[in-house]
A and B are shown apart, each in its own frame.
Chain A
Amino acid sequence: MSNLMRAEFFKLFHNKTFWVLIVSLTGISALMHNLILTDWWVMTGTPFEAVGLGELNALAVLIVPLFFNLIVSTLAGFYIANEFSQSGVIKNQIITGHKRARIFLAKFAALSFGAFIAAVAIPLATAFALLLLHGMEDILTLSNLAYLGRAYGLFSLQFLCLAAIVLFIAIVTEDSGKTVIFTLLLSGGMFIVEKFVSKPFIVKLYEQTFFYQFSQAFRWELASDEMAKSIFVGLISLAVILLCGMFVFNKKEIK
């Protein structure tokens, strides 16, 4: 397994799409934070503003599912799906004699790491760096840091579920374009359910999914049972999606 992980990370760090995402997100994120911090751009009604962290409002854009879904699906499309379609290098990996489940898990580890760095770590790191540059680090009080830690901790768990589902889509579709389109359709569908569907059964069902937990993660007040539920939903979803992914990958014929 460690051999596979090392190989996957080597491939990730040699992947052009990964570096393009890192550079673009660093630029976009730095620009947005700067615009907010210099009051060129005013945002209201964000979860960060509600907890007195209005200076970090730019992060609100980066936690919109459509936005980070685009990052995860782009990476999955050009890093994972291309291995099946364009280069066909997945053949070499299967022939190495590793169990397919382990290959799947190694890919999941590398994809979720890469996507997390691009979609979560870089926006946060640039936010902290710009707060320091603008001399506004005093807003990072202990309670605010605890909020950010709890919120991003829960968000990251749901993010892993998303990465697993996007990996699943990439392996099934074997095509970068289809991976991006299907992931965005999925996320669009969930957005419609969240905003426009009012049937109690569907709403109740939606609230049991990790998609719903993305927005719950950033609530200022989160009771311990709600937090436990969020962790439970995240862990169960992750386990189920990974098991389904491994099952499909095990049965998949490589062309």
Chain B
Amino acid sequence: MTEFVLRTNQLTKKFKQDYALENVNVSIKKGEIYGFIGQNGAGKSTFLRIVTGLAFPTGGAIELFGNHDSSNLTEAQKRMGAIIETPALFPNMTAYENLEVHRLQKGIPGKACIDKTLELVGLQDTGRKKAKNFSLGMKQRLGLAIALLSDPEFLILDEPTNGLDPMGIVELRHLIKKLNREKGLTVLISSHILSELHQLATKFGIIHKGKLLEELTAQELDEKCRQHLRIKVDQASKAAIVLEHELKTADFEVLPDGTIKLYDYLDDVHIVSRTLTKNGLVIEQLSQNGEQLENYFSKLVRGLENEQFNESGIF
């Protein structure tokens, strides 16, 4: 049976007349790295704040590690670590002392975990330096250390790369992948930088104006964004044989409506066209398709906006 770490059902958050979240259904399986994509103000942080118990929904339900009633939800939160918006630190304490507060709060026995976690995020040499004197990147790493201190099963990161330099971003990505691979850590990571999530996430949720537009796996997203030639001919089965035998390619698929998606010969469209015609096929459509991740996202967002525009009845 599939084990879900987080599931939301029709999760809604309303501020007076405005919806910050509207009927959001998200499901995250154990071991997934879930990328939550959306523009600034799309509702990502609101969603994460509700999941972490900082805010309350006005409608819908949350299920965390299979628990959904409020006291069990609070208990289940002990199994997760999170950074929401900016890392929350005691400015007058050192990195070690910041982690010590969190260790005491969580009731983690022994102080060995502090050194181990500081080393994991590369802050082992900060000594007596107070957190207020840390760079933005160091603060971000200390926030991550706090989230990781109790060895959580579920890690929630809200825009974790804010303030990190390119090297820091790469290191963070490697660290998350390593924890996911070695410890089976489930991660929910939000960002408005698509390319950043694309290199990390195994599943995506695209949110816009409080609505979850689409949930898809990395494979599905790659598929949608992969460049291909879209071919529509009068005889799809014959065209498939021609592609295999004449053009020596198997990198294509035939869709139920007879359209062929060819992932090969992208720069040699004329060869494809000539070969198909030579074999007596009538080409009804031949176009290059597929888009960049950003374009795919924009198309989804535009789709929603058009839908809302039409619903409003303004023409």
The answer to whether A and B assemble together is yes
A87 touches B89 (CB 8 A): yes
Q: In the complex, what distance in Å separates the CA atom of A94 from the CA atom of B51? A: 11
User: Whole-angstrom distance from the CB of A1 to the nearest CB of chain B?
Assistant: 10
In whole Å, how far is A205's beta carbon from the nearest beta carbon of chain B?
36
CA distance A91 to B84 in the complex (A): 8
Interface SS of A by simple majority: helix
- Smallest CB separation, B76 vs chain A (Å): 7
Interface size class of A (residues with CB under 8 A): 20 to 34
Residue of B nearest to A86 (CB): B91
In the bound complex, residues from chain A placing their C-beta under 8 Å from that of B53 are 94-95, 97
Is the beta-carbon distance between A92 and B88 smaller than 8 angstroms? yes
Asked if B265 is at the interface of the complex by the 8 Å CB criterion, the answer is no
* Distance to closest chain B CB from A251 (angstroms): 8
Residues of A within 8 A of B71 (CB): 99
B101 A7 Cβ-Cβ under 8 A: yes
- Judged by a CB distance under 8 angstroms, whether A134 is at the interface is no
Decide yes or no: A87 and B88 within 8 Å by CB, A95-B54, A95-B82 being known contacts: yes
Q: Inside 8 A of A105's CB, which chain B residues have their CB?
A: none
Q: Size band of the B side of the interface?
A: 20 to 34
Which residues of the other chain, A, contact B76 by a CB distance below 8 angstroms?
97
- Report whether A89 and B90 are in contact in the complex, using a CB–CB cutoff of 8 Å: yes
When C-beta atoms are compared, the residue in chain A nearest to B80 turns out to be A95
Contacts A4-B105, A92-B102, A92-B105 hold; do A97 and B88 have CB atoms under 8 A apart? no
Scan residues 4-53 of chain B and give those whose CB is less than 8 A from a CB of chain A. 49, 52-53
Binary flags per residue of A93-122, CB closer than 8 Å to B gives 1, else 0 = 111111100000000000000000000000
CB distance from A64 to the nearest CB of B (A): 31
**Residues 86-123 of chain B: 1 if any A CB is under 8 Å from the residue's CB, otherwise 0?**
10111111000100111011110000000000000000
Q: Is A14 an interface residue (CB 8 A)?
A: yes
In Å, the complex CA distance between A5 and B85 comes to 27
- CB atoms of A95 and B52 under 8 A apart: yes
Of A14, A87, A254, which one neighbours B97 at CB under 8 angstroms? A14
Q: CB distance A98 to B105 under 8 Å?
A: yes
Distance in angstroms between the alpha carbons of A16 and B52 in the assembled complex: 30
With A3-B104, A3-B106, A7-B101 as known contacts, state yes or no: A94 contacts B92, CB within 8 Å: no
Asked if residues A3 and B105 are in contact (CB atoms below 8 Å), the reply is: yes
* A91 B88 Cβ-Cβ under 8 A: yes
Chain A: which residue is nearest B107 at the CB level? A3
What's the minimum C-beta distance from B114 to chain A, rounded to whole angstroms?
13
B107 CB contacts on chain A under 8 angstroms:
2-3
Please state if A10 and B104 are interface contacts (CB–CB under 8 Å).
yes
A229 within 8 Å of B by Cβ?
A: no
Chain A CB within 8 A of B295 CB: no
Question: Within A212-237, which residues are at the interface with B (CB < 8 Å)?
Answer: none
Bits for A172-203, please: 1 = Cβ < 8 Å to B, else 0. 00000000000000000000000000000000
| B 120-177 contacts with A by CB, 8 A | 146
B78 in the interface, Cβ–Cβ < 8 Å?
Answer: yes
Please give the distance in Å from A185's CB to the nearest CB on chain B: 29
B82 to chain A, nearest CB (A): 5
In the complex the two chains form, is B74's CB within 8 Å of A14's CB? Answer: no
**What is the minimal beta-carbon distance from B199 to any residue of chain A, in angstroms?**
27
**Cβ B93 vs Cβ A14 within 8 A:** yes
**Quick check: is A52 within 8 A (CB to CB) of the other chain?**
no
Instruction: Enumerate 13 A-B pairs (CB-CB under 8 Å) in ascending A order.
Output: A4-B105, A10-B100, A10-B101, A86-B91, A89-B90, A94-B52, A96-B78, A96-B106, A97-B74, A97-B79, A97-B80, A98-B74, A98-B105
Interface residues of A (CB under 8 A from B): 2-4, 6-7, 10-11, 14-16, 86-99, 251, 253-254
Given A14-B90, A87-B91, 19 additional A-B pairs, CB 8 A: A2-B107, A3-B104, A3-B107, A7-B102, A10-B100, A10-B101, A10-B104, A11-B101, A15-B92, A89-B90, A90-B88, A92-B105, A95-B52, A95-B54, A97-B53, A97-B74, A97-B75, A98-B105, A253-B56
